[in-house]
Chains A and B, each alone.
Chain A
Amino acid sequence: MSPLFLFLSFVALLSALGVVLAKNPVHSVLFLILTFFTLSGHYLLLNAQFLAAVNIIVYAGAIMVLFLFVIMFLNLNEETEPHKPALAKFAAAIAGGSLLLILVAAMRNVNPVGYDPTSFDSQIGMVDRLGLVLFQQYALPFELASILLLAAMVGSVMLGKRETGERNF
């Protein structure tokens, strides 16, 4: 494993832990952005350049802005900080621990198959190649994605639209 890969994985794990452990939710968001950055670094090492750029633009750039908005929505004053009972923390630790256990058990027997350097095409992750595959082989899932996006738009309107007479900010 190359030192760059090890470094990126180290930072990814560390910042992912930071997301969970940070007290301030804004810090959590920043750690999550850093995690997405290291994931993009991994995509780059795999020469998936389009995926790396899209990961930054959509996840780090768009979805995290939404998260920050939500956090700024919340009343983050100290006195309104909900106090979490010890039982909830205990239950969360158990649930998270079992998920980790399952993931480790599932990954344990994975046997990575190497690639053949003579026939390997390093340009497979470029945007033009990806587009041909997406729009010829996977045209139907692509169209279905538009229906998913339509449903999401309608859903957001239903959730966020205020009714007449209702007072909010």
Chain B
Amino acid sequence: MRPKPVGATFALQRLLVLLRSNLTAMLLVLPAANYQPSDYLPILIQFGLALAFVAFAMIVSHLVGPKRNSTVKDASFECGIESVGNARTPISVKYFLTAIVFVLFDVEVIFMYPWAVNFRALGNDGFIAMILFMFFLLAGFAYIIKKGILRWNEA
């Protein structure tokens, strides 16, 4: 059997379910959790609105504003001092190291979301597993701090 077109079918089913459940919609009790891809459809509306607003702002300000060019005026502003070279220059390696450490920690935090959501269900085993996980990461973190990667106040 061929896979069905997921999005459209789910949207239709979801619509029917919503229509039927309106009468009995619960007031304070949560609706039974049944998440479907069609839940995301209003985001498309919001995305369209945001794009429309941004495009409107850009086009109108482009049409309305005056335009006068000159070499001196177009030069990049550096407090009146004539600029030397351009802004395509290398930057401090500290920013780069921060970004690497950020990626590693971001992955760690992502691992923690499914754990935190199931914290009660997983019980003590889950807690111990996470403590072990954190121990290795904190060991790495301590090493990073000891090596002064995150110390910005020295040259």
Do any beta carbons of A and B sit within 8 angstroms of each other in the complex? yes
On A, residues with C-beta under 8 Å from B are 1-5, 44-47, 49-50, 54, 57-58, 61-63, 65-66, 69-70, 72-77, 112, 114-115, 117, 122-123, 126-128, 130-132, 134-136, 139, 142-143, 145-147, 149-150, 152-154, 156-157, 160-162, 168-169
Min Cβ gap A94→B in Å is 33
Given A44-B40, A58-B110, 8 further pairs, Cβ under 8 A: A50-B113, A58-B106, A61-B106, A66-B99, A127-B117, A130-B114, A135-B115, A157-B149
Interface residues on B, range: 35 or more
Interface segment, B22-30, B57-65, B71-79, B129-137? B129-137
B contacts with A: majority SS: helix
B83-142 CB contacts (< 8 Å) to partner A: 86, 88-93, 95-97, 99-104, 106-108, 110-111, 113-115, 117-118, 121-122, 125-126, 129, 132-133, 136-137, 139-141
Min Cβ gap B83→A in Å is 14
Q: Does B18 contact A (CB under 8 A)?
A: no
Min Cβ gap B51→A in Å is 14
State whether B99 touches A69 (Cβ < 8 A).
Answer: yes
Complex CA gap A70/B103 in Å reads: 14
Complex CA gap A11/B129 in Å reads: 41
Name the B residues within 8 Å of A136 (CB-CB). Answer: 122
State whether B88 touches A62 (Cβ < 8 A).
Answer: no
State whether B110 touches A57 (Cβ < 8 A).
Answer: yes
Name the B residues within 8 Å of A44 (CB-CB). Answer: 37, 40
29 A-B pairs with C-beta separation under 8 A: A45-B6, A46-B37, A47-B36, A62-B107, A65-B99, A65-B102, A69-B95, A69-B96, A70-B96, A76-B88, A77-B88, A114-B2, A114-B3, A122-B36, A126-B33, A128-B114, A131-B122, A132-B122, A135-B115, A146-B132, A146-B133, A146-B137, A149-B108, A150-B136, A153-B141, A156-B104, A160-B97, A161-B147, A169-B90
